[in-house]
Amino acid sequence: MLLALVSLSCTREDTGADIDTSGYTLFEVSMDDLLLDTASPYQLPWKEGDRIGVYGSESGDNAGFWLKESGEGKTVAEFYGPVVRGELITAYYPWSSTYEAEVDRMPVDLAHVQTYSTDVSPVSQFLLYSDMAFARMDVDGMLAFCYPFGILRVTVALDEPVYMTGACLESDTGIAGRMEVSPDGMAVPTDVSSRTITLDFSGNVVESADGNGNASLLFVLPAARYAAGSLSVSLSLTGGEKIQVSLGEVDVPKVSASDFMVADVVVATSGIPALDVEDGYFE
């Protein structure tokens, strides 16, 4: 485990002042797997003023670390901050003075009501609801940040078009609301987590198929392998009816810039209410 106390000089903090960082802890930090913007899954470089929060199992409690000036514009950089020690060291980005966590349980919130849009890309939808990244120091002393969430695309491919007023993803465990990120970077439910994620259609009626193809519903949820039957999709229709479909096994990978993957499920039917579910997994 690399945890070095170093003596540096002329490192700028966000005020623009040069300070002496003698006696600080220095971490090498990677943001290779985080997204830059909504246009493409580009890597996100560190920028002036960026700070990360660090927790150590022996010492260090939401210690705010500064980006070294030499790391600006790079995806791998060095951060310095107060002395942090422990066999387990975890971190989050961006730093907040009011964030409260423990080294092995870092809270994160995921909206249980998400917005549906006909023209939003999976990347854009993901970034609307995933604004924190987390890291655990590896054996090489690197803090590599990643998102704990992924994205599920449900394509509604019914033989007979239906008119939807809403959709809901239901789980047998918590998938939204207050979650906790474990040291391995996975989001796990708490006793106040929601078991549903509702797509808000903003009062619009969405046809399951039109001239642009079949409707796709995008849900941001914790990255995990969901067992067959543990997830279901409920479609609310204009006449007050509901179609509920239990999904097969679904593997939702963590979103990253280097390998942006979407878990894809197709809901198909040869007649309502008899429904078949075809599972797929695509880039």
Q: What is the band of 124 on the pLDDT scale with cuts at 50, 70, 90?
A: confident
Q: For the chain, what percent of residues have pLDDT higher than 90? A: 56
Give the list of residues 6+ apart from residue 68 with CB closer than 8 angstroms, or none.
Answer: 8, 11, 77, 78, 79, 80
- Classified as helix, coil or strand, 141 is coil
> What pTM value is reported for the model?
0.84
Question: How confident is the model over 161-175, as pLDDT tens digits?
Answer: 889 999 999 999 999
Give the list of residues 6+ apart from residue 189 with CB closer than 8 angstroms, or none.
Answer: 173, 174, 175, 179, 180, 222
Please give the Cα distance from 17 to 100 (Å, whole number). 28
Question: How confident is the model over 62-120, as pLDDT tens digits?
Answer: 999 999 999 998 989 999 999 888 899 999 999 999 999 999 999 999 999 999 988 88
Number of CB atoms found within 10 A of residue 224's CB:
22
Question: How confident is the model over 126-149, as pLDDT tens digits?
Answer: 989 998 999 999 888 899 999 999
* Of 261 and 195, more confident: 195
- Classified as helix, coil or strand, 207 is strand
Number of CB atoms found within 10 A of residue 131's CB:
11
Which of 3-12, 17-26, 215-224, 254-263 bottoms out in mean pLDDT, i.e. has the lowest?
Answer: 3-12
Q: What are phi and psi of 128, to 5 degrees?
A: -65, -30
Q: What is the band of 179 on the pLDDT scale with cuts at 50, 70, 90?
A: very high
Tokens of 138: 């590896």
Residue 232 has pLDDT above 90, yes or no: yes
Tokens of 9: 């000089």
Residue 150 has pLDDT above 70, yes or no: yes
Q: Are 245 and 275 in contact (CB under 8 A)?
A: yes
Q: Are 195 and 126 in contact (CB under 8 A)?
A: no
Average of per-residue pLDDT values in the chain: 83
Please give the Cα distance from 266 to 169 (Å, whole number). 14
| Predicted pLDDT at 280 | 31
| Predicted pLDDT at 172 | 95
| Predicted pLDDT at 78 | 94
Q: What is the band of 260 on the pLDDT scale with cuts at 50, 70, 90?
A: confident
Bridge partners, residue 216, by sequence:
155
Q: What is the band of 263 on the pLDDT scale with cuts at 50, 70, 90?
A: very high
Please give the Cα distance from 210 to 93 (Å, whole number). 41
